[in-house]
Structure 1
């Protein structure tokens, strides 16, 4: 099928994959779960078709073993799962997301990845701003997702697609119907747009305009989680730039300063957290997270080694998730901490494997960022600025993982798989460079 092999078709579809993964809630709010399911199925099917037709390099040494181990363990957990039906759904969705991520990681060059991710983020931010303007100026009241009937009961704030308060300064939810998610996407956009602008892959005028929009959307969401993630990304960027200026044998001061910063920053965060939460309009219990963490920890201790079985998003219709995390009428479907969620679902064994996946990817991302090979492994353009992108994206995901479990599902998992695979391939190719 020649159309599948056209680079324009591949890039266009890749943009759509990124958009659908990052803004999945947009499709669910617009078309309902059945419509979203049909669209997701089409995305996965075309991803598999592209992998078959384009025949990317699947060389074993260039594929992260920890990713295979985690997927294998999640699949194997069907044997001991406490909720087999829910686990079958969760494992299937995990593999489906992984297949789409593999299409992105294996079938696109690094320049194409950066280009398509940036395009998807521009669509999300632009549509979010237009959507919020329409709701605030013309609708003038909160808007619920389509195809959902909440009856006559009071609807919790978090159920609304948009509360229509853009003109009051927010916080806004955008097309993704969640200010924390929109804020995180804005942070990712700021990173991507800044890298593109610094690398000269976009015009300076438009690059600055899109970067300004990303910062504006970041501020309008007023998300404490994203504020923490943005701080972490900034600190890591400064250390990476410092490390770049020193030879490998002269980086001990960088690592000592980084360790000291983590220690001082951790203590400082504990001290200023109450004031920060008050400034951002958050409650002292981290919007109910402390209660959720206590409940999840108690449950995980009942099956500490192998966990209850993989399910990704919690299935609220089965035990032990039914009624596990309910706050003000809202049923939460995650532990709001990825590490607790992995422990709950896959036990200590899962934590070990997940830690190996994350930190091996972080290790590769760091050295690919600071050592800067003379040329990129996938393209012929200089590597310098874009080599920072995997590190900064992964740091943002890790910071978010302390308060959200999104790194395990949908956009978070897709980005993690893309980063794990691409950094492994880049590392392998760099090692063969003269």
Structure 2
């Protein structure tokens, strides 16, 4: 196969991988779990085959050891798991997702990564808007996922694929069937499209149109958690740009200002919580999250060191997850906090390994964003404006991890591994010449 066609196949498959990670619920609602399983199997097998055929440059010095440690801990947790069968499934899914992320990180150049991620995000944004228009203009009533049926007359709002509220100002759920998830995908799209525009890697009119579409979707989701995440990303961006302008020797005021802002935010949360919650339209229990966090904490302290066993996304048929987090007739299958979820599943040892992955990726992303490369490197290196992308992605993921557990599954884990591996490789390439 000619090289040009070969890279086209790789990029097309990478777009499918990104789309499946971002919109897994779309496949599940459209094709059911068996259909989604078939798509996931294609993604996994394709990733393995392309990794084997293309034989990307692989050096252990360029691979974050913290990811390996975390994978080992989660795998070993099957031995002490309270639900070994569910843990085996969860571990298999984690390894498969990791392999797909490694395909993206090791096979694609930095330009191809940006291009394929942007393409997948455009598909999610466009299909979500089209879907909501069809439901709102033609169906004119809430739509349930295909291949499912719910007993009883009263169906909770969370069960619907779309409630058809586009022409009522939202909130909209899009193809991912959840306004918080759609809002976060829209936030990722805003980040990626803005970076493409600033880097002049897309035509200006085309880039502005897609950026506007992503911003419209973000607003229409009316997600308070995503709004807060967007604010956090904006603050990180401002501090990164400020740090760039100061240069390596004059950054103390930046870091002092950042520390002061953290303290001020802590004081504001402690003293103005009721007012802040009402401002963002949240109840005092954070839409039930405080009760879920309390239940998860009570369970985690029973097995604090090693946890109950890795399971990734909670399985409703295994104890103690059945009924652990329920609200208004909906059983939630996550802790709504990635950190609590890791502690619950693999204890303090797993939490420390996970913290090392996130902290390492954030640390490398920060300095790659604010420092110039010290050596000449290939096109796999993020330059100039695009060097901000890993940092902004990490900021968004960390902000979301406080209220959602998506950092452990699908796009969250894929992006975390992707940023961790690509920044580690760049750090190695950036070492001073001997």
For residue 422 of structure 1, give the secondary structure of its aligned residue in structure 2: helix
Q: Aligned pair in 2 of structure 1 residues 243, 383: CA closer, same or farther (>3 Å)?
A: same
Deviation at 1:322, TM superposition (A): 1.4
In 1, the alpha carbon distance for the partners of 2:132 and 2:190 equals: 20
Query: Is 1:61 aligned to 2:68, yes or no?
Result: no
Which runs of 5 or more structure 1 residues have no equivalent in the other structure?
none
List 4+ stretches of structure 1 deviating above 6 A.
1-5
CA offsets 1:234-268 (integer angstroms, 9 cap, x no match): 00100100110122121111111111111112222
For residue 202 of structure 1, give the secondary structure of its aligned residue in structure 2: coil
- 1:377-392 equivalences under 5 Å are 377-379=377-379, 383-392=383-392
Query: Is 1:407 aligned to 2:421, yes or no?
Result: no
- 1:414-425 equivalences under 5 Å are 414-425=414-425
CA RMSD across the alignment: 1.7
TM-score (structure 1 length as normaliser):
0.97
1:360 aligns with 360
CA offsets 1:5-51 (integer angstroms, 9 cap, x no match): 80000001000100011000000010000100011011100000000
Which runs of 5 or more structure 2 residues have no equivalent in the other structure?
none
In 2, the alpha carbon distance for the partners of 1:225 and 1:382 equals: 29
In 2, the alpha carbon distance for the partners of 1:76 and 1:175 equals: 36
Query: Is 1:200 aligned to 2:200, yes or no?
Result: yes
- 1:93-108 equivalences under 5 Å are 93-108=93-108
CA offsets 1:48-79 (integer angstroms, 9 cap, x no match): 00000000112010000001011111001111
Asked whether the equivalents of residues 375 and 431 of structure 2 are also in contact (C-alpha less than 8 Å), the reply is: no
CA offsets 1:346-380 (integer angstroms, 9 cap, x no match): 11111111111100110000000000327874418
1:300 aligns with 300
TM-score (structure 2 length as normaliser):
0.97
Deviation at 1:281, TM superposition (A): 3.4
Asked whether the equivalents of residues 110 and 382 of structure 2 are also in contact (C-alpha less than 8 Å), the reply is: no
Q: Which moved more, 1:152-161 or 1:237-246?
A: 152-161
In 1, the alpha carbon distance for the partners of 2:403 and 2:132 equals: 26
Query: Is 1:221 aligned to 2:221, yes or no?
Result: yes
In 2, the alpha carbon distance for the partners of 1:213 and 1:137 equals: 19
Asked whether the equivalents of residues 110 and 378 of structure 1 are also in contact (C-alpha less than 8 Å), the reply is: no
Q: Aligned pair in 2 of structure 1 residues 428, 53: CA closer, same or farther (>3 Å)?
A: same
For residue 383 of structure 2, give the secondary structure of its aligned residue in structure 1: coil
2:70 aligns with 70
In 1, the alpha carbon distance for the partners of 2:376 and 2:389 equals: 13
- Give the number of aligned pairs: 434
In 1, the alpha carbon distance for the partners of 2:171 and 2:296 equals: 29
In 1, the alpha carbon distance for the partners of 2:376 and 2:25 equals: 35
Q: Which moved more, 1:348-357 or 1:146-155?
A: 146-155
In 2, the alpha carbon distance for the partners of 1:158 and 1:351 equals: 30
2:268 aligns with 268
Asked whether the equivalents of residues 162 and 177 of structure 2 are also in contact (C-alpha less than 8 Å), the reply is: yes
For residue 351 of structure 2, give the secondary structure of its aligned residue in structure 1: helix
CA offsets 1:104-162 (integer angstroms, 9 cap, x no match): 00000011000000000001001100100010000000000000011334211001000
Query: Is 1:41 aligned to 2:3, yes or no?
Result: no
In 2, the alpha carbon distance for the partners of 1:310 and 1:381 equals: 34
- 1:322-333 equivalences under 5 Å are 322-333=322-333
Q: Aligned pair in 2 of structure 1 residues 270, 377: CA closer, same or farther (>3 Å)?
A: farther
Q: Aligned pair in 2 of structure 1 residues 35, 373: CA closer, same or farther (>3 Å)?
A: same
Q: Aligned pair in 2 of structure 1 residues 42, 158: CA closer, same or farther (>3 Å)?
A: same
1:91 aligns with 91
In 1, the alpha carbon distance for the partners of 2:403 and 2:108 equals: 31
1:118 aligns with 118
Q: Aligned pair in 2 of structure 1 residues 376, 319: CA closer, same or farther (>3 Å)?
A: farther
Asked whether the equivalents of residues 101 and 417 of structure 2 are also in contact (C-alpha less than 8 Å), the reply is: yes
1:127 aligns with 127
1:396 aligns with 396
For residue 250 of structure 1, give the secondary structure of its aligned residue in structure 2: coil
Deviation at 1:277, TM superposition (A): 3.4
Deviation at 1:3, TM superposition (A): 8.8
In 1, the alpha carbon distance for the partners of 2:375 and 2:203 equals: 22
Q: Aligned pair in 2 of structure 1 residues 129, 270: CA closer, same or farther (>3 Å)?
A: farther
